[in-house]
Amino acid sequence: MRRLRRRRDLFPRALGRFLEGIAPRAVHVDQPVRRHNPDAVVDCAIYRSGVRKPGTVHFAQARQHRGEFLWLGLHEPDLATMRAVGDAFGLHELLVEQTVEGGHRPVIETNGDVTRLVLRTARYVEHEELTATSEVVDTGDVTLLIGPWFVITVRHGAAGPLWPVRRQAEKRPELLRAGPWAVAYAVADRLVDAYLDVSVQVERDLERLEEETFTTRRSAEIAHFYQLKLEMVELKRAVLPLQEPLARLLDLTVVPAGLRPYFVDVRGRLARAVDRVAGFDDLLNSILQARLTQVTLEQNNDMRMIAAWAAIAAVPTVGAGIYGMNFTNMPGIDSRYGFSVTIVIIVLVCSGLFRRFKRAGWL
């Protein structure tokens, strides 16, 4: 009993030491993330004459200076963080609440001297083959709050990281001299390029699906078509609604005249992306219609095969049924060759039917 009690006492102690051993590692993993990014801030920098000023700056300490603007990048901030940002930049509370939530459609609107521009992000999800549950397109959204001396980019979702945009923009100081709207152009330019890249990848999926449909081997399942059609709907929701905000953006007086040709170029490439994405529906519907026709033909072939074998099986069934009625006066019932002759007749009739159905393509 003492030995058993000692074992019971040792187990809690060992468990406690085990938990103490792994607890510091868990805290060690979490702490650097929180210390490095306490406010969901991806980057915050001040640009003067198109050149990034050295050092780091916190958005709460930023002040307006002539010839400078601030670019604050956030990724999925919570409400408390956005309220702090709103207080620092004088944002309306409705803008703060709208920015916290994701899933918005592309839109542009003005609230005082701040313009809110929402863009959808998109990226192609790599997959070995298309299945009934394959994710083909992943989307998110980016909200830009553009003020006289600042621009705030808030991204929701995994798609469309903006650090490449910042890196490329910082290599073009002549562009950043135009101020916060240069950032809006850089982001829109990057996202429209992403639409074109995704459309190229999706077109390859459609070509692969088309090849599988018209090959002699087993064709793609109908569920694969509907899954890809669902993914196309998600892509269309990201690309097509952006046409109106970009058209309205060119009418805003706050957009610098030097940036208007750049936005016109973005709108032109967006039109190409819209044409490609809209054409996917027609192509996918054509392939789906061809696959449905194949399914109908396969079902008809199956029904003809079943009917042919049923006709062949009916011959011995009829013969056995007739001679199984046990009448006294029946042809050949008293003959020693009656059974053999009956079997031969059944085999000959079945063989003739088989050859006939084979020639007709039913078997």
Q: What's the pLDDT tens digit per position in 301-327?
A: 888 888 888 888 888 888 888 777 777
3-state secondary structure of 217: coil
CA angle 60, 62, 68 (to 5 degrees): 155
Q: Give the confidence band of 73 by pLDDT, cuts at 50, 70, 90.
A: very high
Closest CA to 190 of 272, 124, 100, 270: 270
For residues 134-138, give the mean pLDDT.
Answer: 82
For residues 144-156, give the mean pLDDT.
Answer: 94
Q: In this structure, what token pair is assigned to residue 160?
A: 């469309």
Rounded Cα distance between 130 and 292, Å, is 18
133 or 6, greater pLDDT: 133
- pTM value > 0.75: no
109 residue type, one letter: E
Closest CA to 332 of 268, 75, 15, 322: 322
DSSP codes, 208-268:
HHHHHHHSSSPPPPHHHHHHHHHHHHHHHHHHGGGHHHHHHHTT-TTS-GGGHHHHHHHHH
3-state secondary structure of 41: strand
- Identify whether the C-beta of residue 297 lies closer than 8 Å to the C-beta of residue 216: no
Question: How many secondary structure helices (H) and strands (E) does the chain include?
Answer: 10, 7
Rounded Cα distance between 14 and 8, Å, is 10
Rounded Cα distance between 86 and 7, Å, is 60
Q: Give the confidence band of 34 by pLDDT, cuts at 50, 70, 90.
A: very low
pLDDT computed for residue 325 by the predictor: 76
pLDDT computed for residue 116 by the predictor: 95
CA 329 from chain centre, in angstroms, equals 78
234 or 328, greater pLDDT: 234
> Over pLDDT 70: what percentage of the chain?
85
Going from the C-alpha of 10 to that of each of 1, 6, 20, 87, the distances in angstroms are 14, 6, 15, 56
For residues 204-228, give the mean pLDDT.
Answer: 71
- Identify whether the C-beta of residue 85 lies closer than 8 Å to the C-beta of residue 74: yes
- Identify whether the C-beta of residue 240 lies closer than 8 Å to the C-beta of residue 277: yes
Rounded Cα distance between 265 and 247, Å, is 12
Rounded Cα distance between 212 and 225, Å, is 12
Looking at residue 70, the DSSP 8-state letter turns out to be E
**How confident is the model over 15-31, as pLDDT tens digits?**
444 334 433 333 333 33
Q: Give the confidence band of 112 by pLDDT, cuts at 50, 70, 90.
A: confident
pLDDT computed for residue 25 by the predictor: 36
Count of Cβ atoms closer than 10 Å to residue 75 Cβ: 18
Q: Which residue has the tokens 């003067």?
A: 48
Q: Give the confidence band of 218 by pLDDT, cuts at 50, 70, 90.
A: low
pLDDT at 75 exceeding the cut of 70: yes
Closest CA to 43 of 154, 182, 159: 154
Rounded Cα distance between 12 and 79, Å, is 42
Looking at residue 60, the DSSP 8-state letter turns out to be G
> Over pLDDT 90: what percentage of the chain?
37
117 or 331, greater pLDDT: 117
Computed over every residue of the chain, the mean pLDDT equals 81
- Identify whether the C-beta of residue 228 lies closer than 8 Å to the C-beta of residue 136: yes
Helix axes 163-170, 180-214, angle to 10 degrees: 130
Looking at residue 96, the DSSP 8-state letter turns out to be H
